[in-house]
Structures are given as C-alpha cells and as structure tokens.
C-alpha cells in the first residue's frame, strides 16, 4: 500500500510541475494547449542527454532548456506574431508528438542508469514541487512582479499605460512556464518511469491543462488537484493493487479521462461559474496588439 501511495505522490508531482507552468502562462493571459508537446520534448531530449552522458543533471538541464525554448517559440507566435494561441499551442503539441517519435525511436528501451535516490521514501522532486507551489503562490500574489503578471493577464492595455512592458512580462511567463513543463517531462522519463517508448505520455499534458481550469488559477488548489489526479492515474495503471478484479484494466485506463469530463461538468454549474469567471484572467487567449 505504501508503494502505491508513494507512486501516486510521484505521479502527482509531474502534474504539479506541468500544470504550474501552464498556470503561470495563463496568469499572464497566454493559453498554451501544447503542454503535452513540451513535456514530450523535455522527456525525450532529457532522456537522450542523460543516457548518452550518464548524467542526470545534464538530462534535466537539457529538458529545462528545451522547454524554455519551446515556451519562447509559443511566445514568439502568440505575442509577437499575434497568431491564434490555440493554433500555436496545437502546433507545438503536434510538433512535439511528431518529432519526438522520430528522434526518440532509436533510444527505445530503459534508461539504464541507477535510479535517483529517494528522500524519506519519496522522489526528491515531490518536495521541490511543493516548494515551487508555495513560491509561485508567493510571487504571484505578494510581489510586484506577480502584480505585473496578473495585471497583464487581466487587462494588457491598462497595464501598458501604467508602465508595464506587456511583451516582456508575457515572454517571461511563457519561458518560465515552458521550462516547468519540460522539467515535468524529464521527471517522467528520468525518474517516474525511466523507459522511452513511442508516445509514452498518453494524455498527461492534457490532464494538466484541465487541472489549471479546475484550480481557478490558484497554486494551492492546483496542488490538491494534482494529488487527486496522481492517485487516480496510479489507480488506473495498477488497479489490481487496490481493487483487484473490479473492472478490466483497459476500462480502468479511461477513469482519469472520464473523471476529467465529470469535473468539467461540475465546474459548469452556476455556483462554480460565478467564482470561476471572477478568477479567470480576463485577457486569456486574446492576442494583444499595442496601438
């Protein structure tokens, strides 16, 4: 049972990192639906770097850098060129899905490095994730940088008039967000399940996207959601550990996705709608053109 709980917490860490990256993006008004693509890139290139240099540190660094670069690319498309943010995010997802399938294929198989040591029985990234949640909550709500980010997400033209550089702030957020997503991918491929396989993520990034909608853009609610989904995901992978023989293992795999639709349905009730609408960054997904 402890094994199951530990794995669930580790799975939730990946959701935490990826969704936190998306949350920072969205707080500045940029929607990135390509989380899964950024994660795939971080996971695959990080895996290759770690395997060929036999260094975990380099693997994670490569994943963070590629994540940041893809974030910058999304920023270039959506901030500078003013492309529809959904189109750009889709582009990054399909680019990630397509290219990593090609690039990673020769590396199919296990990583072949000694496992990353655990701290108190858990992956060290679990603790880093909690620190990051607290830190991003602090930065977003208690600092002038956070105020800048939020005002850019709520009303970019007013922010611009009051002397905030909208372009710079948004670029900062998409880059940092991308780095976190790339990091999340590397946690998957280097720590959680160190085996490279074709399209191995199977929806982690899209669940992370839904988690941000659930969280009402609050890092602490996001952490709670990640814990819930980490457990649910782990249960869907290993149902026999907790509820043996209840349902076909293939049907278990659908549970996180069915639940997501269910939660979205719950969120659409009036009680949630009002609070959700108040919390939502007003300028989310709208391109901003300086007049």
Partner 1 sequence: MRIGRYGLKLEKRLTVTGWQAAIISSLAIVFALVLFSIIFILGGINPLLAYQEIFSYAFANRFGLPLTINRFIFLLLCTCAFILPFRAGLWNIGMTGQLYAGALGAFAVLYAFGAKASLALELSPGIVIPLMLIAAALGGAGIGAIAGFLKGRFEINEIVVTMMLNFIVLWLVAFMIKEGGLFMNPGGRGESFEIPPSGYAPLIMGVPFTVFLALGLAGLLYFLFAKTRIGYQIKAHGHNPAAAKYAGISAFGIPLLVFALGGAVAGLAGYHYFAAVPGVYKIARNYAYFGDLAFYGIICGLISLGNPLAAIPVALLFGGLSIGGRFVQGKLGMAFGVDYALLGVLMITLVAFQFFYRYKIVWVTIGEKGLDVGVHR
* Site residues (vs partner 1, CB under 8 A): 33, 77, 81-84, 86-88, 90-92, 94-99, 101-103, 105-106, 198-199, 202-203, 206, 209-210, 213, 248-251, 253-254, 257-258, 260-261, 264-265, 267-268
Phi-psi region at 245: left, alpha or beta (left = phi > 0; alpha = psi -120 to 50): left
Which pair of structure tokens corresponds to residue 163? 């002397």
> In whole angstroms, how close is the CB of 185 to partner 1 at the nearest point?
16
Q: In this complex, which beta carbon is closest to partner 1, that of residue 55 or of residue 167? A: 167
Distance between CA 3 and CA 167 in Å, rounded? 46
Q: How far is the CA of 275 from the CAs of 50, 150, 168, 229, in angstroms? A: 44, 17, 29, 22
SS3 annotation, 140-178: HHHCHHHHHHHHHHHCHHHHHHCCCCHHHHHHHHHHHHH
> In whole angstroms, how close is the CB of 276 to partner 1 at the nearest point?
11
Q: In this complex, which beta carbon is closest to partner 1, that of residue 80 or of residue 157? A: 80
Distance between CA 192 and CA 201 in Å, rounded? 12
Q: At what angle do helices 219-237 and 124-142 cross, to 10 degrees?
A: 150
> In whole angstroms, how close is the CB of 44 to partner 1 at the nearest point?
12
Q: In this complex, which beta carbon is closest to partner 1, that of residue 152 or of residue 212? A: 212
> In whole angstroms, how close is the CB of 138 to partner 1 at the nearest point?
29
Closest C-alpha among 194, 207, 224 to residue 129? 224
In a 3-state reduction of DSSP, which class is residue 209? helix
> In whole angstroms, how close is the CB of 57 to partner 1 at the nearest point?
26
Q: In this complex, which beta carbon is closest to partner 1, that of residue 119 or of residue 251? A: 251
Q: In this complex, which beta carbon is closest to partner 1, that of residue 162 or of residue 254? A: 254
> In whole angstroms, how close is the CB of 1 to partner 1 at the nearest point?
25
């Amino acid at each position: 049972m402890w094994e199951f709980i530990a794995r669930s917490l580790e799975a939730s860490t990946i959701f935490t990192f990826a969704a936190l990256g998306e949350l920072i993006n969205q707080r500045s008004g940029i929607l990135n639906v390509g989380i899964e693509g950024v994660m795939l890139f971080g996971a695959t290139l990080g895996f290759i770097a770690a395997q060929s240099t036999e260094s975990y540190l380099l693997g994670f660094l490569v994943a963070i850098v590629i994540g940041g670069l893809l974030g910058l690319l999304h920023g270039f498309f959506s901030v500078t060129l003013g492309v529809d943010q959904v189109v750009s995010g889709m582009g990054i997802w399909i680019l990630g899905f397509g290219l990593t399938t090609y690039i990673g294929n020769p590396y199919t198989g296990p990583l072949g490095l000694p496992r990353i040591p655990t701290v108190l029985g858990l992956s060290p990234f679990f603790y880093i994730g909690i620190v990051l949640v607290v830190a991003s909550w602090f930065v977003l709500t208690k600092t002038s940088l956070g105020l800048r980010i939020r005002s850019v997400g709520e009303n970019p033209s007013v922010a611009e008039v009051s002397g905030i550089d909208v372009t710079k702030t948004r670029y900062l957020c998409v880059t940092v967000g991308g780095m976190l997503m790339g990091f999340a991918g590397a946690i998957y491929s280097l720590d959680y399940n160190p085996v490279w396989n074709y399209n191995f993520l199977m929806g982690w990034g899209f669940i992370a996207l839904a988690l941000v909608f659930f969280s009402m853009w609050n890092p602490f609610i996001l952490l709670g959601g990640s814990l819930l989904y980490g457990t649910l995901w782990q249960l869907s992978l290993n149902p026999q550990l907790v509820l043996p023989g209840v349902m076909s293992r293939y049907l278990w795999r659908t549970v996180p996705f069915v639940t997501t639709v269910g939660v979205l349905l719950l969120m659409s009730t009036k009680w949630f709608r009002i609070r959700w609408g108040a919390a939502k960054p007003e300028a989310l997904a709208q391109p901003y053109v300086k007049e």
